[in-house]
Amino acid sequence: MVDSETRLLGVMGHPIRHSMSPLMHNTVFRKLKLNCAYFAFNVPEGKLRDFMKGAEAMDFAGLNVTIPHKVSVMKYLDETSKEASLIGAVNTIKFNKGKLQGYNTDGLGCVRALEESGVKVKGKRILIIGAGGAARAISFQCLMGGARELTVSNRLEDYDRAVELGRDLKVKLGKDVEILRLDDVDKRVLDSIDVLIHATPVGMHPKVNESIIPAKIIPKHLAVMDIVYNPVETKLLHDAAKKGCKTIDGVGMFVHQGAEALKIWFNIKNPPVKLMRETVVGKLTGV
Ligand code: NAP
């Protein structure tokens, strides 16, 4: 029940209507008996400054940030974590005794989901497909987590975006990253890596019959993660599972980025990730 002591939280972005975060976090608040309420705020680009002023004035406890504000919100913050500074984007904000602190839990969420499935990043050869916001966060976290080799691939139209990400990783972490055109990701490339992370919207609802990688070139030794989480089992994951690959769905990353945010906001040591996953999967599959 909402009362005069309820703490406010939420996710802000544009568009925001399909966000699963309110359902997931409010379920946790009920379970842990935290007097908090989590909303979805539709904040167009021109309204970001007003929104941040309002959130501060209303004594929010925390926020998640999504497209298109992950970079532009940084100018309203007092401090940013090491990860957020390196990645250059924020997805979580803590309102901490008058200070606005920014974090990025997307990359860590991905790495935690891999680990939960028994796939360690340390020592692995990893290929990330995509060079957008999520791919950027994941690539920094994979290298910080000790990946042995990292390759980033983007489609030809925006190949420069991958080149820029590679340059950024080299400058900030001192690590060399291979950059590939999507068209050049063939069987030989997949045979030479351990983990494939797909970080583009291809295969997302409603275009569920699309996959970025032809089934016939997927080798069975590969661990395959798709960060798309609607549907839970994308065509890429379906094809990979049929080949005998270990597969990790995008709900894992979504749940763990949220769990890391809960740790930041409330110092919760072990967020109820099982409940969070069941809640999100239940909503996505209608079960
Ligand atoms: P983004 O910043 O817009 O980047 C999208 C990336 O996908 C870019 O590299 C883009 O290439 C590429 N791309 C888009 N359409 C493509 C196509 N038809 N063929 C090949 N490449 C294509 O988006 P994002 O924030 O990184 O998110 C990417 C996906 O991950 C979305 O589906 C999002 O829902 C999902 N996601 C999941 C989680 C999770 O917790 N599971 C978290 C964040 C995001 P260009 O550079 O050429 O445009």
Predicted confidence (pLDDT) per residue in 14-25, tens digit: 999 999 999 999
Cβ of 258 below 6 Å from ligand 1: no
b/e per residue, 227-237, with b = 16+ CB within 10 A?
bbbbbbbbbbb
Residue 26: per-residue pLDDT: 98
- pLDDT beyond 90 at 150: yes
Measured in Å, residue 47 CA sits from the centre of ligand 1 at 24
3-state secondary structure of 134: helix
Cβ of 261 below 6 Å from ligand 1: no
Measured in Å, residue 200 CA sits from the centre of ligand 1 at 3
Cβ of 197 below 6 Å from ligand 1: no
Give the residue whose CA is nearest to atom 34 of ligand 1.
228
Strands 36-42 and 7-13: parallel
CB 76 within 8 A of CB 51: no
Rounded percentage of the chain residues whose pLDDT exceeds 70: 100
φ and ψ of 101, to 5 deg: -110, 130
Q: How confident is the model at residue 146 (pLDDT cuts 50, 70, 90)?
A: very high
- Whether 70 is catalytic: yes
Please state, rounded to an integer, the average pLDDT across all residues of the chain.
Answer: 97
- Which helix (H) or strand (E) element contains residue 260? helix 250-266
Cβ of 250 below 6 Å from ligand 1: yes
The model carries a pTM of 0.97
Tell me the pLDDT tens digit for each residue of 222-270.
999 999 999 999 999 999 999 999 999 999 999 999 999 999 999 999 9
- pLDDT beyond 80 at 287: no
Half-sphere exposure of 34 (CA within 13 A, CB side): 20
Task: Give the number of the atom of ligand 1 that is nearest the alpha carbon of residue 157.
Answer: 47
Look up residue 234 and give its DSSP letter: -
Alpha helices in 94-202 (DSSP H): 106-116, 133-144, 159-173, 187-191
Tell me the pLDDT tens digit for each residue of 68-122.
999 999 999 999 999 999 999 999 999 999 999 999 999 999 999 999 999 999 9
